[in-house]
Amino acid sequence: MSEGAFSFAIAIVAEAGLAATKRIVRASDGRLEKSDYDRVALWRFQPTAAASVAIMAEVLRDLAGRTDRMILMGRPRPGLQFDRPQLRRWAAADPGANTLEAVDRQWLPIDIDDVAVPSPLGRGDRLDDAARYVRDTVLPPEFHGIAAAATATSSSGLKGDTLARLRLFFALDRPLSLDVLRRWARGARAADLPVDPAVIQAGQPIYTARPLFQGIADPVPPRLRAFVLEGSRGDRVSLVTDRYEAASSPADRAAVFAPQSMQDDWRRYLRAALGGADSFFAPLTRALGVAARDLCDENEVIAFARTLVIARADPGRVAHYSEDWMRATLRRFRAADLAAEDRRRTLLSELIVSRKTGGIHDGRRQ
């Protein structure tokens, strides 16, 4: 395996009191209450590389105990100052505003969502057996028997004896673009594999820390929070990138980036771009910005966008990009447009007064 086969960025929280992990509390009635990840805006990026599956597992084992950090598949933009807090941007309309960029990677994270496994493999103390079962019976043949770094996710061991949640990190036999890897994952998802394609983006969080538990012990023992899943057929996957082309969604078959001209027609743009290479946030904010500028009916815009989100997004994103989120975003854009128009009118008025007074403005000759 080549040096640095696993190349990624560690993102470290740069805001006091916030964490890059969930909080899980056992309530007085026995129910588990889970809080979402903190909304961290500022991060410090640390480029990192691991030369082998074993070293990657060591890195992940360390990160499992660090609630202030996570990893990203993207690379910090050249020239970025690593000692300064930065926004996590990778799909801005202006590429110069991005702090992260998509580059070819020679590894693939497989985020497993609630896959059915034989009892009792869903238990936290059987995560290694669940990982082996998923790799060798659920994933495509090219993964069978290939060594991987494996980690628990925040819900590992909390879904019962017959549902497993985990993450596998495979090295690949060649570098591939994030677009290719994401299309593969979206196709796999469309073909009913329990794979989450969302993490395969330059700036999408791959959370690595164990949750903060209160009133309940971590169901995953320390030895299984990150470990090497040993293989019998080597340590690199020859990914069949077109295996799921027939199952890919309309968004995946659209252009990788919707043409700028298409963004003027926000409905057409959303149909083509939502859930594709730009994921959800960037297409939604661009489309809502255009709709706000065009003074479209608020309820009509939200109904159209929500229908697409529900059809294409995972449940977490459907909840996040709610009607309230869309309404607040539209109104923020409209408020900004009104403020810009007020400034324009003020400047225009001052210019007219200046001309009428022979170039004298604010007591000074121009």
In a domain, 358, yes or no: no
Residue 350 confidence (pLDDT) = 64
Enter the DSSP assignment of 150: E
* Distance in angstroms (rounded) separating the CA atoms of residues 300 and 40: 31
* Distance in angstroms (rounded) separating the CA atoms of residues 190 and 322: 23
**If residue 12 lies in a helix (H) or strand (E), which one and from where to where?**
strand 6-13
In a domain, 356, yes or no: no
Alpha helices in 192-296 (DSSP H): 250-253, 266-273, 281-293
Cα dihedral 206, 32, 223, 43 sign: positive
The helix/strand/coil state of 231 is coil
Could you tell me the two tokens for 313? 């997004």
Q: Does residue 257 sit in the same domain as residue 229?
A: no
* Distance in angstroms (rounded) separating the CA atoms of residues 109 and 50: 14
Residue 27 confidence (pLDDT) = 92
Q: Point out the residues of the chain with pLDDT beneath 70.
A: 1-4, 93, 246-264, 277-278, 337, 340-345, 347-366
Closest by Cα among 56, 59, 55, 72 to 20: 72
In a domain, 269, yes or no: yes
In a domain, 146, yes or no: yes
Phi, psi torsion values for 334, nearest 5 degrees:
-65, -40
| Model confidence pLDDT, tens digit, residues 244-258 | 876 554 444 443 334
* Distance in angstroms (rounded) separating the CA atoms of residues 196 and 110: 7
Phi, psi torsion values for 132, nearest 5 degrees:
-65, -40
| Model confidence pLDDT, tens digit, residues 127-170 | 999 999 999 999 999 999 999 999 999 999 999 999 999 999 99
Task: Give the end of a domain, one of 218, 245, 272.
Answer: 245
In a domain, 213, yes or no: yes
Task: Give the end of a domain, one of 222, 245, 268.
Answer: 245
In a domain, 257, yes or no: yes
Q: Does residue 255 sit in the same domain as residue 218?
A: no
In a domain, 332, yes or no: yes
Q: Does residue 237 sit in the same domain as residue 277?
A: no
Q: Does residue 223 sit in the same domain as residue 316?
A: no
Q: Which residues contact 302 (CB under 8 A, 6 or more apart)?
A: 323, 326, 327, 330
* Distance in angstroms (rounded) separating the CA atoms of residues 234 and 14: 39
Strand 69-72, strand 23-26: pairing: unpaired
* Distance in angstroms (rounded) separating the CA atoms of residues 22 and 70: 12
Pair 203, 89: CB distance under 8 Å: yes
Which residue segment(s) compose the domain that 272 sits in? 250-340
Number of structural domains the chain divides into = 2
Pair 106, 177: CB distance under 8 Å: no
> What share of residues in the chain are helix, strand, coil (percent, to 5)?
40, 25, 40
What are the Cα distances from residue 354, in Å, to 37, 56, 154, 343, 358? 54, 66, 63, 16, 6
Q: Does residue 77 sit in the same domain as residue 169?
A: yes
Q: Does residue 147 sit in the same domain as residue 296?
A: no
Residue 365 confidence (pLDDT) = 40
Q: Does residue 255 sit in the same domain as residue 192?
A: no
Q: Which residues contact 181 (CB under 8 A, 6 or more apart)?
A: 105, 108, 200, 239
Q: Which residues contact 224 (CB under 8 A, 6 or more apart)?
A: 124, 125, 127, 128, 152
Residue 265 confidence (pLDDT) = 81
- Residues, the chain: 366
Q: Does residue 238 sit in the same domain as residue 255?
A: no
Q: Does residue 310 sit in the same domain as residue 292?
A: yes
Q: Does residue 194 sit in the same domain as residue 145?
A: yes
* Distance in angstroms (rounded) separating the CA atoms of residues 151 and 173: 21
Q: Does residue 45 sit in the same domain as residue 191?
A: yes
Task: Give the end of a domain, one of 198, 214, 245.
Answer: 245
Pair 188, 206: CB distance under 8 Å: no
* Distance in angstroms (rounded) separating the CA atoms of residues 20 and 204: 12
In a domain, 35, yes or no: yes
Tokens 């994933």 belong to which residue? 139
Q: Does residue 285 sit in the same domain as residue 236?
A: no
